[in-house]
Amino acid sequence: MFEGLRIRLGKVPWKMRRFLSNLGYSARFLRSPSTRRVKPSTTVLALAVVIFVGFVLAGGVYDILEHPISLLPTSYGYSVVIQGTLGQQTLNESLIAAFLYFLGVGGLYMLLRSTRYAYRPRNAYLLLILGTLTVLVVVAYSASLINTKIGGG
């Protein structure tokens, strides 16, 4: 099948063959600069992914769909945490969770940056200690928040 096509194309005049082979080059004016790919920065893309994941994990979708109250009135005042259930949350509870997630990511970023200061040990140790303390505080406070939410006090 392709052999017959090649024989037929061999009988076409050379000007026609050149025109058909250069058709893509001849039609280059049809391509606009907008068809080129725009490659976003990896830093911006990573930051956008972290913000989106933090929003979803903190309960941003729940906040948008359910419109929860910001503080829960109790007999002794107001509470930020709805105790006894994991299926409901207040608006302030989700904001605290989002703040903790982003603070934890900041602590992990400080730990990452501390490895880049090999020839400046003072900066490396400072970032290492600050990052470790930040991550430990976030883990402790997150555990305390979930313990309060479950009903352990």
Give pLDDT, residue 84: 81
User: Where do the domains of the chain lie?
Assistant: 42-150
What is the Cα–Cα distance from 93 to 98, expressed in whole angstroms?
9
**Segment 109-136 mean pLDDT:** 92
Q: Residue 134 — pLDDT band, cuts 50, 70, 90? A: very high
Chain position carrying tokens 């063959």: 17
Give pLDDT, residue 83: 83
Give pLDDT tens digits for 64-95: 999 898 888 888 888 888 888 888 889 999 99
Contacts of 127 by beta carbon, 8 Å cutoff, 6+ apart: 110, 111, 113, 114, 117
Does the pLDDT at position 44 exceed 60?
yes
Give pLDDT tens digits for 95-114: 999 999 999 999 999 999 99
Report the predicted TM-score, pTM, of the whole model to 2 decimal places: 0.69
